[in-house]
Structure 1
Amino acid sequence: MAKRLFTADYEVNASIKMLYPYIQSASGLSEWFADDVKINNIDKTLTFIWDNEKRKARQVATRVNHFVKFEFLPETEEDNGDPSYFELRLEFNELTQSVFLKVTDYSDFESARELEDLWESLVENLRKLVGG
């Protein structure tokens, strides 16, 4: 199945410093993004758990209080050369004094509409968590 790139910006009424732990740490991500997130301290992989399904990823890039990028470990031969990933980036709009979560998701999710709905739901969980 061909992978597609999804990007979206979501306004979140919270400070960047407050939001960053929720996008970068296993404990923060497990509060809104996945049912649970476990970290393996030996090989530094994270296991994301959704509905009893597990996906392993590694954090491949980060900049404190700015962004984090997770790349899923290959599950098929095709994934070896073209891995799925997602990036969560925090941006501050000086003009409106607003904080935005920019989501980039590169995956083989079947329906673009379902993926958009999924991210909308996930970000709504985050908003409820931080009060914004």
Structure 2
Amino acid sequence: MSKHLFTADFEINASKKMLYPYLSSASGLAQWMADDVTINEDKVYNFIWDEEDHFATMVSHRTNHYVRYEFLPEDEEDEDDPSYFELRLELNELTQSVFIKVIDYSDMDDNEELYDLWEGLIDNLKETVGG
């Protein structure tokens, strides 16, 4: 099954500096993204959704700009083409508005469903940070 690339932008009323810890730390992610998020000594994140473990590593990041998590392969196909998601913090210079750009590369190929999923997650984040 081929993977699908989904992108969307969500405006949020909070500074990049304030938002970044919510995107880059297990405790921050656990507050809005998953039922729980833990990190082990090998820096492997465990995203827990509906009592299921999903393991990922932070493969790249730039403080106050973006973070990218790549899920550990579950089969041979995933090894060559791993699923990932990236969260970018972007500033509109004209309006000074901060946007979170979501880049989701996964087996889910329904854009409407993905948009609803991420919109719900970003709404959770907005409630958490008051943005």
The one-letter code matched in structure 1 to 2:15 is S
Instruction: Tell me the CA shift for residue 112 of structure 1.
Output: 2.3
Cα distance in 2 for partners of 1:77, 1:2 equals 13
| Aligned amino acid, residue 131 of structure 1 | G
The residue type paired with residue 48 of structure 1 is: F
SS of aligned partner of 1:86: strand
Q: How many residues matched?
A: 131
How far, CA to CA, are the matches of 2:59 and 2:11 in structure 1?
A: 25
Contact 2:4–2:109 (Cα < 8 Å) also in 1: no
Supply the AA of the counterpart residue of 2:129. V
Structure-1 residue corresponding to 2:74: 75
Which residue of structure 2 lines up, in the alignment, with residue 121 of structure 1? 120
SS at match of 2:94: coil
Q: Which runs of 5+ in 2 are unaligned?
A: none
Q: CA RMSD in A?
A: 0.8
Within 2, Cα distance between the matches of 1:110 and 1:89? 21
Q: Distance in 2 between matches of 1:110 and 1:69?
A: 20
Any idea what SS the aligned residue of 2:31 has? helix
**What is the alpha-carbon distance in structure 2 between the residues aligned to residue 67 and residue 97 of structure 1?**
18
| C-alpha distance in structure 1 between counterparts of 2:122 and 2:105, whole Å | 17
Distance 1:110 1:7 in 2: 12
Which whole-Å CA distance do the structure 1 matches of 2:110 and 2:99 have between them? 24
The 5 Å alignment of 1:27-38 reads 27-38=27-38
Moved runs in structure 1, 4+ residues, more than 3 A? none
Cross-structure match for 1:40: 40
Letter in 2 for 1:51: D
Q: Give structure 1 stretches of 5+ with no counterpart.
A: none
Aligned match of 1:111: 110
Aligned to 1:24: 24
1:65-110 Cα deviation digits (max 9, x unpaired): 0000000000011000000000001011110110000000000015
* SS of match in other structure, 1:62: strand
Q: C-alpha distance in 1, partners of 2:130/2:99?
A: 14
Deviation track 1:17-57 (CA, whole Å, cap 9, x = no partner) reads: 1100000000000000111001011x210000001011000
